C-alpha cells in the first residue's frame, strides 16, 4: 500500500519474514523493517501520530495458497487477537493520533471486527472491484 517503502517516515512491521515463489515464477518477499507481533508492540505509549493497521482478513486459506502467502491468515483465536491488535494500536498512538484500518470483508464481516473495539471510526470508504475492502479512519481521543 505504501508509495515508497524506503521512505524514512515509514516503519513496516510484520510477524513474518518470508520469501515465496509463485506458480508463475514471480518471487514475493515479506521483508519488514521490524519483526513484531501487533498484539504486543515494542513501542512506548503514545509513540506514533499515525498507525496503519492492516491485519490478515482470512480465517480460511489453502495451506500453500497464494492468498495465505501474501496476506497471512488469522488464527483460531482471531477475535481476541484483533481485540488486542486494536488495543495496541490505540496504546501506541499519541493523543489525537490517527489510526487507518484496512479490512477486506470476504470471510469475516466488518461489523464483527468493529465490535472488537470500543473506538468508532470517523469516516472511511470501500474500494476494490466488489467494494469489499474497507478503509476506515479513527482518531484517538485526547487527554481527559
**Average pLDDT for 95-111:** 95
pLDDT at 123 over 90: yes
Average pLDDT, the chain: 90
**Average pLDDT for 42-62:** 94
Range of weakest confidence among 21-25, 46-50, 59-63, 95-99: 21-25
- Strands of the sheet with 93-104, listed across from one edge: 48-53, 93-104, 133-139, 123-127
Tell me, what's the pLDDT at 144? 63
Architecture per CATH, domain 46-139, reads as: 3-Layer(aba) Sandwich (3.40)
Residue 32 contacts residue 18 (beta carbons within 8 Å)? no
Give the Cα separation of 14 and 32 in Å (integer): 6
pLDDT at 118 over 80: yes
Give the Cα separation of 114 and 101 in Å (integer): 10
Map out the domains of the chain as residue ranges.
Answer: 46-139
Amino acid at each position: 500500500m505504501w508509495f515508497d517503502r524506503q521512505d524514512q517516515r515509514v516503519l513496516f512491521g510484520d510477524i513474518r519474514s518470508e520469501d515465496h515463489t509463485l506458480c508463475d515464477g514471480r518471487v514475493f518477499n515479506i521483508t519488514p523493517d521490524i519483526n513484531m507481533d501487533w498484539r504486543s508492540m515494542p513501542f512506548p505509549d503514545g509513540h506514533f501520530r499515525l498507525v496503519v493497521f492492516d491485519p490478515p482478513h482470512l480465517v480460511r486459506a489453502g495451506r500453500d495458497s497464494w492468498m495465505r502467502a501474501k496476506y497471512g491468515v488469522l488464527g483460531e483465536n482471531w477475535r481476541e487477537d484483533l481485540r488486542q491488535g486494536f488495543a495496541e494500536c490505540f496504546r501506541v498512538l499519541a493523543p489525537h493520533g490517527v489510526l487507518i484500518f484496512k479490512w477486506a470483508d470476504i470471510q469475516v464481516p466488518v461489523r464483527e471486527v468493529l465490535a472488537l473495539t470500543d473506538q468508532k471510526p470517523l469516516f472511511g470508504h470501500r474500494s476494490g472491484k466488489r467494494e469489499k475492502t474497507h478503509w476506515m479512519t479513527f482518531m484517538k481521543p485526547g487527554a481527559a
